[in-house]
A and B are shown apart, each in its own frame.
Chain A
Amino acid sequence: MLRLWGAGLILAAPICFSLSRWMARQQQDKLLAAYIQTLELCAGQILCDLTPLPELAVLLARQGPEALRGFWQTLREGLSQTDYSAESLWRAALAGTSLSAAAREILAPVPQALRSYDTDQIVRELGRIRMELTQYRARMSETFRRDFRLHAGVQVSAALLLLILLF
């Protein structure tokens, strides 16, 4: 019975590890998708209603993608304090998310884009960031799929090998 438990654990360990990696990846992907959607919403709001950043933050904290409501809430609170620049508040809010450093880097120029006087230029710039983020998301997905297959395969093989050696 004990042997059976041991064998089960050896097999379960790589499966659990892979599952947790997959879940973390799913969460990251969901977050990236939410940012992509949010950038599109921002561009629409700015182009149609010239919505200023603080109002945008209020709107998105209430009605935006659920995964980012906390982010917009943090930004909204920051913007109501007068002593910080939009860039530093944006960076601080991004730091509070579980986004990868590369994704944060891509999103960092958003406040700079909003500094433009020309809404068409803002929309173009937000579109460029969205495109970059979409490509990054696709790249990450592809890399993860490849790595996941490889790692999962190696781990399960190692576990099976261990089982053969032990039993």
Chain B
Amino acid sequence: MEKNLARYEDAARLLPEGLRRLALACSAGEKAAAEEFRLRTGCPLSVLYPEGERFLRGSPPQTVTPADLQAVLDRATSFSVYRCADSIRCGYVTVQGGCRVGLCGTAVLRQGQVATLQELSSVSVRIAKELPGIASGLYPRLFQAGRFAGALFIAPPGGGKTTLLRDLIRYVSDGIEEHAPMRVAVVDERGELAAVCGGTPQFQMGAHTDVLTGVAKAEGIEMVLRAMNPEVIAVDEITAPDDIRAMVLAANCGVSFLATVHGVDLDEIRQRRICRALLETELFHRFVILEGRGSGRRWRVEKC
């Protein structure tokens, strides 16, 4: 709770003064439950809770201006957008403390590729969450004949995949009494899992974890495989055939995987070509399915 309150306040610090005052005026319970700040030009600041969005109107009512969005971006990039040009091109910026700022605006195309985003129209500030211990019951269930089998996490967006995966990485990396620690390599393409800032992960990732940030998953998997000799590789959100090819290559070297995909359950993801291809590789024999929102979130393990 304390840590989540601090993270809420860290996220609120990115907001311009007037909006920040509104955000900080929320109760401790609301702060702990908040998942995102959402700023859209012409609308009041809204906070995303597990049950939905709620506007913070203030008195007199305050609406978000384009200058507010620019101020958030300035703070998120430490007044240096050039440093985050690559991630801005992908629509987000990871901030010290683990928050992620998502951006929407007008895309500037160069040779058919998004060169950058201009004239921001909305910004979301995702508040980093760390819930140490949530994977304690899950970790022992991911072993098969004494060997760590890895797992594929399935949940809809905002379903808590990343938070659970992060805690599981910590368990795998630190080990528990019955299971020895393992070397985990995290390929953190969007900087969301470990949120490395200035070389230091902003979340507890375990004592045997190596984090590679900002590299495409396929390339990153090959890099950590060559460089760090991992026993387990963790990646967030598998979306491309190249990711699967790299995972198969690494699995042939005896590496287990922890990965996430968007979806509701196994049947639903089987309908999608990319996920079907992933399942056909038989890289995963354990599937962690997350259901519900907020405090009603539950996970179950399916074997295959």
Q: Taking beta carbons and an 8 Å cutoff, which residues of A are in contact with B? A: 46, 50-55, 79, 82-83, 85-86, 111, 114-119, 122
Contacts and interface: CB of A to CB of B under 8 A. Distances in A.
Interface stretch (B77-85, B121-129, B167-175, B280-288): B77-85
Nearest to B17: A83
Contacts of A83: 16-17
Contact of A117 (B16, B78, B116): B116
B179 interface: no
Interface of B: 13, 16-17, 71, 74-75, 77-83, 85, 88, 115-116
A100 B284 CA distance: 69
B75 A50 contact: no
A86 B74 contact: yes
Given A52-B83, A54-B79, A116-B81, 17 more contacts: A50-B82, A51-B80, A52-B78, A52-B80, A53-B78, A53-B79, A79-B78, A111-B79, A114-B79, A115-B81, A117-B82, A117-B88, A117-B115, A118-B85, A118-B116, A119-B85, A122-B82
A150 to B, nearest CB: 45
Given A82-B75, A85-B74, A117 B81 contact: yes
Contacts of A55: 78
Contacts of B82: 46, 50, 114, 116-119, 122
A52 B80 CA distance: 5
B81 A79 contact: no
Contacts of B77: 52
Contacts of A53: 78-80
Contacts of A118: 82, 85, 116
Which of B16, B77, B78, B83 neighbours the largest number of chain A CB atoms within 10 Å of its CB? B83
Nearest to B117: A117
Contacts of B88: 117
20 contacts: A50-B80, A52-B79, A52-B80, A52-B83, A53-B78, A54-B78, A54-B80, A82-B13, A82-B75, A86-B74, A86-B79, A114-B79, A116-B81, A117-B81, A117-B85, A117-B88, A117-B115, A118-B82, A119-B82, A122-B82
A138 to B, nearest CB: 30
B71 A85 contact: yes
Contacts of B85: 117-119
A46 B82 CA distance: 8
Contacts of A51: 80, 83
Contacts of B17: 83
A83 B16 CA distance: 7
A83 B88 CA distance: 22
Given A82-B13, A85-B71, A50 B78 contact: no
Contacts of B81: 115-117
Which of A114, A117, A119 neighbours the largest number of chain B CB atoms within 10 Å of its CB? A117
A118 B81 CA distance: 9
A50 B83 contact: yes
B86 to A, nearest CB: 10
B39 to A, nearest CB: 16
A115 to B, nearest CB: 6
B137 to A, nearest CB: 40
Which of A51, A79, A82 neighbours the largest number of chain B CB atoms within 10 Å of its CB? A82
Contacts of B83: 50-52
Contacts of B78: 52-55, 79
A43 to B, nearest CB: 11
Contacts of B80: 50-54, 114
A97 to B, nearest CB: 20
A1 B241 CA distance: 101
Which of A52, A79, A83, A86 neighbours the largest number of chain B CB atoms within 10 Å of its CB? A52
A119 B115 CA distance: 13
A158 B82 CA distance: 59
B99 to A, nearest CB: 14
Contacts of B116: 117-118
A127 to B, nearest CB: 15
Contacts of A52: 77-80, 83
